[in-house]
Amino acid sequence: MHAYGCGLVQIKKNRHLFTFFGQLPQSYAAVQLVSSHESDPPFTECFSAIFSESRKIQNHEDEGLGESEPPLIDLGNLRGKNEKERQACIEAITKASLQWGFFQVVNHGISHELLAQMRREQKKIFEIPFEKKVNSRFLNDCYRWGTPTATSLEQFSWSEAFQFPIGNISEEDCFSREFSSLREVMEKLANAMSELAGILAKILAENLGYRGHNFPENSSKNTCFLRLNHYPKCTFSPKTFGLTPHTDSDFLTILHQDEVGGLHMMKDFKWVAVKPNPNALIVNIGDLFQGWSNDIYKSVIHKVVANENVDRYSIAYFLCPSYESMIGSCKEPSVYKNFTFGEYRNQVEIDVKENGQKVGLSRFLR
Ligand SMILES: O=C(O)CCC(=O)C(=O)O
Ligand SMILES: [Fe+2]
């Protein structure tokens, strides 16, 4: 069993791989894999108990959505010559990170063409038959789908994903020739996203007094990762989550979503839709930045609502330090005990196993 960066856990049963977002098994033994010759995971077949119960559950949309939208920031001003505009841009980034924990960036330096190429490759790989994707020998075991441990619809994520540690992408033997174009595009995108994440993280750290060269200092290619998400259209929508509410267990995440929509973030106890903007990437603060900043920057709960009519795709880059890195606080007195990223991940794994869900930063309060 393995836990992933963002509260993801993977288990193997009867030669089949189950990787999921969050919970550990209670009625896990009840999960049966039904063979499928199509590409979409057999969600309803494997989780028939959950989906027959689901009609009793309230529609998420009834909760009502807040009106506002996360700030939109033009990063072109960071590269410009006008110092006043540069400072205003830095201020916008830091303000959004402490007030929202989420923001959108345009003129981010990652080309439309690269993002479009990545999307094409992403679609191709999800079209592969489910039985092939779920095989543990396929692409280094990085496939996951659904939530095998879910005992109710609220715990279930109607999605599948491939998660690639950045270090593996450049290793040719992880990818057969069949996937050489996927590997090439992913390598380019991972480099571009790493650079952007590094720029943003450094700005946020410097704002709180950090004076080093790179932030986080021990960012690691083995722990940073790219995740390709696919949310197949869902007949139980809008009652079903594409991804259950969670925070990310990293420093920050950069996300490219398609035109479908469905990503919601929490703001002032209300869900706010992060509407698709073809020119923007979405940035969100993760738990480690909230911890390091002593709660100044906010790691905000977000979720994806499944869509009844169309499939949805997104690509996420997670900025993480090495497992040995100490996530101390930038200021004393610190809200949290010192902990390493490895300890944080282990604790997430233990909590998911014992309580069915991630507890997160509050585990490390002083
Ligand atoms: O697909 C999305 O919009 C969000 C994905 C996400 O939150 C994640 O992968 O952690
Ligand atoms: Fe997330």
Atom of ligand 1 nearest to the CA of 161: 9
Atom of ligand 1 nearest to the CA of 257: 3
- Whole-prediction pTM value? 0.88
Highest mean pLDDT among 6-10, 63-67, 295-299: 295-299
Q: What is the mean pLDDT of residues 139-152?
A: 87
Task: Name the residue among 222, 122, 134, 117 with its Cα closest to residue 171.
Answer: 222
Does 233 score more than 80 pLDDT?
yes
pLDDT at 140: 86
319 contacts: CB under 8 Å, gap ≥ 6 = 194, 197, 198, 201, 216, 219, 224, 250, 251, 252, 253, 254, 286
Does 13 score more than 50 pLDDT?
no
Backbone angles phi, psi at 11, to 5 degrees: -135, 160
81 Cα to the center of ligand 2, angstroms = 34
Q: Is 8 in the pocket of ligand 1 (CB under 6 A)?
A: no
| Protein residues within 5 Å, CB atom, of ion ligand 2 | 248
The residue whose CA has the least distance to atom 1 of ligand 1 is 314
**Beta-strand pair 225-231/8-13:** unpaired
Q: Is 316 in the pocket of ligand 1 (CB under 6 A)?
A: yes
Query: Is 0.95 exceeded by the ipTM?
Result: yes
Does 6 score more than 80 pLDDT?
no
Does 175 score more than 60 pLDDT?
yes
Q: What is the mean pLDDT of residues 221-247?
A: 91
**Of the candidate ranges 26-35, 265-274, 298-307, the one whose mean pLDDT is the lowest:** 26-35
Check: CB of residue 156 under 8 Å from CB of residue 47.
yes
pLDDT at 8: 39
Tokens of 35: 């063979």
What is the helix, strand, coil percentage profile of the chain, to 5?
35, 25, 40
313 Cα to the center of ligand 1, angstroms = 9
Please provide the DSSP assignment of 211-273 as one string: -SSSSSTTB-TTT-EEEEEEE---TTTTSSEEEEEE--SSSEEEEEE-SS--EEEEETTEEEE
Tokens of 228: 């390709």
356 contacts: CB under 8 Å, gap ≥ 6 = 22, 23, 24, 26, 149, 155
SS3 314: strand
248 Cα to the center of ligand 2, angstroms = 5
Does 3 score more than 80 pLDDT?
no
Does 56 score more than 80 pLDDT?
no
Q: What is the mean pLDDT of residues 39-51?
A: 89
Helices (H), 140-234: 166-169, 180-207
Check: CB of residue 358 under 8 Å from CB of residue 7.
yes
Tokens of 320: 């993480």
Q: What is the mean pLDDT of residues 199-214?
A: 96
- At 120, the pLDDT band (50, 70, 90 cuts) reads very high
- Omega before residue 148 within 30° of 0, cis: no
Distance CA 316, CA 229 (A): 8
- At 48, the pLDDT band (50, 70, 90 cuts) reads confident
Does 110 score more than 90 pLDDT?
yes
Does 146 score more than 80 pLDDT?
yes
Does 341 score more than 80 pLDDT?
yes
285 Cα to the center of ligand 2, angstroms = 10
CA 116 to chain centroid, in Å, comes to 19
Q: Is 6 in the pocket of ligand 1 (CB under 6 A)?
A: yes
Name which residue leads in pLDDT, 96 or 180.
96
Q: What is the mean pLDDT of residues 76-96?
A: 96
With the most atoms of ligand 1 within 8 angstroms of its CB, the residue from 263, 305, 312 to mutate is 263
157 Cα to the center of ligand 1, angstroms = 11
With the most atoms of ligand 1 within 8 angstroms of its CB, the residue from 302, 319, 348 to mutate is 302
Residues 284-333 have pLDDT tens digits of: 999 999 999 999 999 999 999 999 999 999 999 999 999 999 998 999 99
Name which residue leads in pLDDT, 10 or 181.
181
Q: Is 105 exposed, middle or buried (0-12, 13-18, 19+ CB in 10 A)?
A: buried
With the most atoms of ligand 1 within 8 angstroms of its CB, the residue from 144, 147, 255, 320 to mutate is 255
Q: What is the mean pLDDT of residues 198-217?
A: 96
Q: Is 248 in the pocket of ligand 1 (CB under 6 A)?
A: yes
Sign, Cα dihedral of 101, 106, 110, 115: positive
pLDDT at 57: 53
Atom of ligand 1 nearest to the CA of 284: 7
Name which residue leads in pLDDT, 323 or 236.
323
**Beta-strand pair 102-106/72-74:** parallel
Q: What is the mean pLDDT of residues 227-246?
A: 90
Does 4 score more than 80 pLDDT?
no
Name which residue leads in pLDDT, 13 or 55.
55
Q: Is 304 in the pocket of ligand 1 (CB under 6 A)?
A: yes
- Which segments within the chain are labelled E, that is strand? 2-4, 8-13, 16-21, 72-74, 102-106, 143-145, 160-165, 225-231, 241-246, 252-257, 263-267, 270-273, 281-285, 302-305, 312-319
Sign, Cα dihedral of 84, 89, 93, 98: positive
314 Cα to the center of ligand 1, angstroms = 7
Number of other residues whose CB lies within 10 A of the CB of residue 61: 12
